[in-house]
Amino acid sequence: MAVTDNTPSRRSGTSVFWNRARAQFHATADLLDLDESCREVLGNCRRVVSVHCPVRMENGIIRSFRGYRAQHSNHRGPFKGGIRYHPEATQGEVMALAMLMTWKCAVVNVPFGGGKGGIVCDPQQMKPPEIERLTRRYTKELLPVIGPETDIPAPDVNTNAQVMAWIHDTYAVEVGSTSLGVVTGKPASLGGSVGRQDATSRGCFFTCLKALPMFGLTPDKARLVVQGFGNAGYHMCRLWSEAGGKVLAVSSSRGGVYNKDGLDVEAAKRHYTEHGDLLAFKGGDQITNAELLTLECEVLCPAALEGAIKEENADTVRTRIVAEAANGPTTAEADAILQDKGIFVIPDILANAGGVSVSYFEWVQGITNFFWKQADVHERLKEIMDEAFDGVYEESKRRGVSMREAAMALGVSRVADAFKTRGLWP
């Protein structure tokens, strides 16, 4: 295990995304008039672990996969954040995502800090036993730095409840105790929480329920367009259509599908599960991901990867509300353009915080061994999301800033407060 300096080298993948996350933090620090000590500490990741995971492939060859775990801040509680499997995962990307997690946990006021992990791999090209061996080896490599009180992973892009179950099992076997709290997003049969599967989307949906009335709208009168049809994207579509709203378009990495009368979300899901994409789905017209972002709608929900809405295409976005289910889907330049166009943006660290909120519920249930009913999870999630939305909205009015700037101000000030109150050892 190599613990690297937290300034990533070019080779290890300094990303535009990390620079953007840092710039966003420093802009917030300016707004809050934070002192130099806070900027030094909170503007960097506390620790970044880089590992190589050798895995025996099904053909007998051993391949070594690069993996990362970035731990940004644990001032308010254990590091917390997902693990993604993606061919383009970089150290800079996980560092940026770890920093966003810190602010997000503070915005919804759950007692966690921020972390994020990634493995450079293409799970679509791998067999399940290979993914299992990779997951277990990665977990073993991270043993010194993860745990129920230290750092608690969760699902993200291309990882799911099964992957979390393997992480849990590997950790439990290695340390010799059940340790349900080491990971969240586990299957309900293995100490997971009911309601975790769709928590990110349900939280995002709750924030939309708050924003829509500002435009005289309700879901049944609002058309939704979603980029990405994985965990976050699919459940957002499902909840929208259950509320009587039309889902005009969805997409996967290979392209999307559009129906002006509304898609049959469950039929699209069946097709996606069977084929891994929406190509040749008969329930609508094929469109590109670029075209999808320009469709006229009331709510646009980017639910795929970072940087989808950028300077080049922001001006073509035709929606009233952008609800960021994905992390970092809008660049800073695009954000300014959306603001000029009067589009109401519900920022990622608020819009997709339902996932980490129910992860918190799962962690609490795991360490107390007392499991809640689904209705309790939904009710408490709504309470958290409504309170967070109201807090951010009031902050934006009070300071005369956007919802993103307000969410950042709330999140960063809570973490800075914890840092100052704890002081520094030694």
Known catalytic residues? 116
Closest among 356, 305, 359 to 86, alpha carbons compared: 305
Rounded Cα distance between 107 and 413, Å, is 10
Q: Cβ closer to ligand NAD: 24 or 200?
A: 200
Question: SS3 for 120?
Answer: strand
Distance CA 339, CA 355 (A): 26
Determine if 231 is a binding residue for ligand NAD (CB under 6 A). yes
What's the burial of 22, exposed, middle or buried (CB within 10 Å: 0-12/13-18/19+)? Answer: middle
Beta bridge partners of 246: 223
Question: Which of 14, 286, 289, 339 forms a contact with ligand NAD (CB under 6 A)?
Answer: 289
Which 3 state secondary structure label does DSSP give 307? coil
CB 302 within 8 A of CB 227: yes
Q: How many CA atoms lie within 13 A of 77 on its CB side?
A: 19
Closest to ligand NAD by CB, 55 vs 89, is: 89
- The DSSP call for residue 252 is E
In eight-state DSSP terms, residue 193 is: P
Burial bucket for residue 257 (CB in 10 Å: 0-12, 13-18, 19+): buried
The amino acid at 281: F
Q: From the centroid of its chain, how far is CA 256?
A: 21
State yes or no: residue 230 binds ligand NAD (CB under 6 A): yes
Interface residue with ligand NAD, options 181, 355, 366, 411 (CB under 6 A) = 355
Q: Report the residue from 107, 157, 317, 345 that binds ligand NAD according to the rule CB under 6 A.
A: 157
Q: Of the ranges 32-40, 66-74, 214-222, 245-253, which one interacts with ligand NAD (CB under 6 A)?
A: 245-253
Shortest Cβ distance from residue 398 to ligand NAD (Å)?
Answer: 27
Amino acid at 410: L
Q: Interface with ligand NAD by CB under 6 A: which range of 33-41, 173-181, 209-217, 297-305?
A: 297-305
Q: Which stretch binds ligand NAD (CB under 6 A): 143-151, 257-265, 303-311, 335-343?
A: 303-311
CA atoms within 13 A on the CB side of 97: 29
Least distance between ligand NAD and beta carbon 277 (Å): 7
Tokens 């090209």 correspond to 125
Judged by CB under 6 A, how many residues of this single chain contact ligand NAD?
A: 24
Q: 250-269: which residues touch ligand NAD (CB under 6 A)?
A: 251-253
232 binds ligand NAD (CB under 6 A): yes
Binding to ligand NAD by residue 294, rule CB under 6 A? no
Which window, 71-79, 130-138, 222-230, 309-317, contacts ligand NAD (CB under 6 A)? 222-230
Q: How far is CA 316 from CA 136, 214, 313, 338, 341, in A?
A: 44, 23, 5, 10, 10
What distance lies between CA 343 and its chain's CA centroid?
22
Residue type, 242: E
Supply the minimum distance, in Å, between the C-beta of residue 232 and ligand NAD: 3
Peptide bond between residue 129 and the one before it cis (omega within 30 degrees of 0): no
Site map 171..210 versus ligand NAD, x via CB under 6 A = -----------------------------x----------
Distance of closest approach, residue 278 Cβ to ligand NAD, in angstroms: 9
- Binding segment toward ligand NAD, per CB under 6 A, in 18-26, 135-143, 231-239, 393-401: 231-239
Comparison of 12 and 289: residue with beta carbon closer to ligand NAD:
289
Backbone angles phi, psi at 99, to 5 degrees: -65, -45
- Minimum CB separation of residue 16 from ligand NAD in Å reads 15
SS3 of 270, please?
helix
Of 34 and 156, the one with the shorter C-beta distance to ligand NAD is: 156
- Minimum distance between the CB of residue 63 and ligand NAD, rounded to whole angstroms? 22
Q: Min. distance of Cβ 327 from ligand NAD in angstroms?
A: 4
90 forms part of the interface with ligand NAD (CB under 6 A):
no
Residue among 218 and 289 whose Cβ is closer to ligand NAD:
289
Under the binding rule (CB under 6 A), the answer on residue 48 touching ligand NAD is: no
Tell me which stretch binds ligand NAD (CB under 6 A): 24-32, 150-158, 214-222, 418-426.
150-158
330 is an interface residue for ligand NAD by CB under 6 A:
no
303 contacts ligand NAD (rule: CB under 6 A): yes
Question: Which residue reads 């800033």 in tokens?
Answer: 401
Helices of type H across 144-226: 161-175, 199-211
Is the CB of residue 195 less than 8 Å from the CB of residue 381? yes
Q: Applying CB under 6 A, which residues contact ligand NAD? A: 155-158, 200, 227-233, 251-253, 289, 303-305, 325-327, 352, 355
